[in-house]
Structure formats: C-alpha cells, structure tokens
Amino acid sequence: MAEFEFDLFVIGGGSGGVRASRVAASLGAKVAVAEERYFGGTCVNVGCVPKKLFSYAAHYRDDIEDSRGFGWEIDNARFNWSTLKSNKDKEINRLESIYRSILENNKVTIFEGRARLAGPNLIEINGKQVSARHVLIAVGGWPQRPRIEGNELMMTSNELFSLEKLPNSMLIVGGGYIAVEFASIYTRMGVDTTLVYRGDKLLRGFDTDVRDFITTEIKHSLNLVLNSSPSKIIHNNNMLEVIMQDGSGYSAEAILAATGRAPLTGDLGLDTVKVNLDAKGAIQVDENFETSEPGIYAVGDVIDRVALTPVALAEGQIVSRRLFGNSDAGMEYRNIPSAVFCQPNIGTVGLTEDQARELGSPIDIYTATVKQLKHTLSGRNEMSFLKLVVNAQDEKVIGVHMVGPDAGELIQGFAVALNSGATKSDFDRTIGIHPTLAEEFVTMRTKRKSHLA
C-alpha cells in the first residue's frame, strides 16, 4: 500500500466515521479523518445526546407535579433555562473531546476542514491533495426547511439547542420523531407549544395503534393541529405568523422546522468519481457499503437506510473489518430497536402490524392499555399501551411496541428476545416483575385480532 499516503481516508468525524477510523487503525491501517464542524457528529452535538438531556429536564416537571399525590410539597419550583444550557454545553464539549481523543490515541491523522473528492483515490483538504487506497464517506445528514415563503425565519433542530433564552411560544412544523420529541420537551419547559402536521396522525411509519395512541396522549399537553400545512411565514410586529394553506393563521415567537433531514452530499466532489445518488440525494451502495466507484464506501445517514447512531456505528465497523480484518460479516437490519423520547416514551422493535400483514402469513395481535400504578396516586390522566405482533404459524413474536414511561429502556431487552427467536409461549411462561408495566408483556393472553394477512 506504499503508493498511497493512507490506507483509509474517512470524510466525516461523526459516529460512523470515528468508529470506522478507530477499528481500521486498530487493525494496522494508516488512517486519516476529515471533519469540518465537530467530532461526534449530529448525535453528540445537535442530536440524540443533548435532546435526551433536554428530555430528562422536561420530565422533571411531570415528576414534581406527580410527587404531590405522594405527600411531597415542593413550593416555588422554577425552571432555569440558562442552567440547563450551560450544563448541557459542558457535557457536549466533554463528549466531543472524547471522540477527538479516540482518534488521537489510535494514531489517526486528523484534518479539520471540508474534504472533497478530487478523483477515485484523491481527497482535497485545506488546499492540498492526499491519496488513499480506500475512502469512506460518513458525512451524515442535515435538517431541511419546507420550501415555503419565509422559511428563512424558521429554526431547525441545529439552532434549537443553542437558544440564549426560551421563547414564550413556539410553533413546530412536522409530525416525525424530532417534531414530537421537541414538542413534548418545550411544552414542559413552560413554552406555549403548537404542533402542526399535515397528516391525520403523528409518526408516519410507526405501528398504527402506536400512532393513534400517541396522537391522543400528546393532545393533553399541547395544542395539536392536524391535516394542516403552512404556506408562508411573515413578521407581524414582534411575532412570527404562520399562514396555513386553508387561510388560518398561528402566531409564535419562534418556529421550528422539523420536517425531515437530507443526506449531506452537496459539494463533496462526487462529480469527479462514479458515485451514484438516489432521488433523495443519498449515496447508493451495495451490501458491502461500496459505491459504484471501486474503493469508495459510504455509511450512516448519508446512505439513507436506517438513520440511527448505533446503525452508523455498526456499518462503519463492518466496512473497516472487511477491508483490514478479513471479515465477511454483513449488516442485519431486522429487529433494530428504536425509541421516541416524547412524553410518554415510545419503544419499538420488529414489525408493525401492517408490515406483518404484508408478509402473507396469519398473525395474532395482543394489546394492553393500562394506567401505571404510579398514577393511581399522582392523579395524572396518562395511559400506557403495549402490543405484541405474533406469527400465528410458528408463534414467533415478530413485533413489540410500547408507549409508556421508560419504553426506550424496556424495549432493548425485547430486541434481544426477538433476535433470539422468542415465541409467544416463551413470553407466556416468563414470570413478570410485579408491579411493573413491563410485566404486561408476559401476561397478555387474549388475542385482540387473529387473521390472515
């Protein structure tokens, strides 16, 4: 490999890029990575980590209110945005430095700046060209604003974490997990929150029962406007006014665009190589994550398969082990667990009911709607929902879905069960922990639905 300066050059220092760099270096490869913003990528800096910290902060409001039913008297409880933001910033800076240290400790050469391809084995960075036998593109995605008049007045999730002060009111446009999470968070921080979505129920792509349930539950804490889309945004005195397509209007101090993300493939020099993009601008790769240009690979959000940090980590590791460790392991996309950190939480793994029906085999559906024991004293009108999707032919559980407290924590164990081929009988003979919400998953006996797909 002496004719190349590097064995692997990674464009992007997010989760997938750093994992690929570390693994390749540990296997003896000479590795370089280029990052133009911050190490750790979206997740660490403006994504899942700070969002989860904000979710914890928001949850304390519910906890303080609920504690009264248990005898606690907490007077003059106040939320201080500056304290949360300052502490969040310290933690994110700490994590970003850890990602940098991982690279340095593995003797990965770090370039800070915008890297572009200049040919099949050439990368241009900071005015110079370097060569690499293999190139990995792991630049992630970027939040998008709807294409409407005045969209420059909208924030995206990137800016939301660095607000100097909380607005008194906020309108959020979107119905996916980012919109739903931030709506749950900011309404509990005392912001008058309106969530506007063009569909008739939130969280497209999730199980229909879960969508119905969370759409109903979230109405208890904020103003939800469905079947409505904005047409333009204007300044109106010191407020922003959103004019909807039906002519109605809503005013707020701040407007958040949470209408999706797009692969960050612009200005990468892709015109100098044979790398194909799909209609969404995502890089097309084969089962080994190799593009149509031999020696150039891509992983993570930029390939638009499953936009989750653990998935990008796994993909990056697979590429490096294949290139430098003689591994033939592939990526398994079945039974990837995910969570939505709204209030209440959503946890899901496996197939939705509709996806299971499309397989053509008979399925059985088990559901439970329950009130958590805690709320018998808290007085909170919050319900939880649990669901099992079962293949009726072999009794294998092929989908587990939950809306309720700590659903994201609970669903991880059920992901192991699904990957181990657990059956409904395995669930039934498992003793539950009483009293918990999780025990409902092993006590459901009555089929809500049994039918052919």
Q: Which of 65, 144, 124, 127 is nearest to 343 (CA)?
A: 65
User: Taking every pair of C-alpha atoms in the chain, what is the biggest distance, in angstroms?
Assistant: 73
The model's pLDDT over 260-315, given as tens digits with 9 standing for 90+, comes to 999 999 999 999 999 999 999 999 999 999 999 999 999 999 998 999 999 999 99
Residue 237's pLDDT band, with cuts at 50, 70 and 90, is: confident
Q: Which residues pair with 369 in a beta bridge?
A: 385
- Mean pLDDT, all residues of the chain: 96
Q: What is the mean pLDDT of residues 61-75?
A: 96
CA atoms within 13 A on the CB side of 275: 30
- Whole-number Å distance between alpha carbons of 138 and 34: 10
Interacting residues of 239 by C-beta distance below 8 A, sequence separation 6+: 251, 252, 253
Judge whether 6-142+262-324 and 151-259 match in fold. Answer: yes
List residues bridging with 9 in a β-sheet.
32, 135
Q: Determine which one of 59, 220, 434, 451 is catalytic.
A: 434
Q: Is the confidence at residue 88, as pLDDT, over 60?
A: yes
> What does the pLDDT read at residue 1?
43
Q: How far apart are CA 254 and CA 272, in angstroms?
A: 41
Residues belonging to the chain: 453
pLDDT digits (tens, 9 = 90+) for 136-191: 999 999 999 999 999 999 999 999 999 999 999 999 999 999 999 999 999 999 99
pLDDT value, residue 304: 87
pLDDT for the residue 448 = 85
Position 450 confidence tier, pLDDT thresholds 50, 70, 90: low
The sign of the dihedral angle between the CA atoms of 217, 220, 223, 226 is positive
* Selection from 309, 349, 154, 330 nearest residue 241 by Cα: 154
Query: In 10 A of CB 203, how many CB atoms?
Result: 23
Active site residue 235: no
Mean predicted confidence (pLDDT) in 216-223: 95
The fraction of the chain above a pLDDT of 90, given in percent, is 97
The CATH class for the domain spanning 6-142+262-324 reads alpha beta
The per-residue pLDDT for 80 is 97
Q: Where do the domains of the chain lie?
A: 6-142+262-324, 151-259, 338-451
CATH class of the domain at 338-451: alpha beta
Residue 138: per-residue pLDDT: 98
Distance between start and end Cα atoms, the chain: 54
Fold classified for 151-259: FAD/NAD(P)-binding domain (3.50.50)
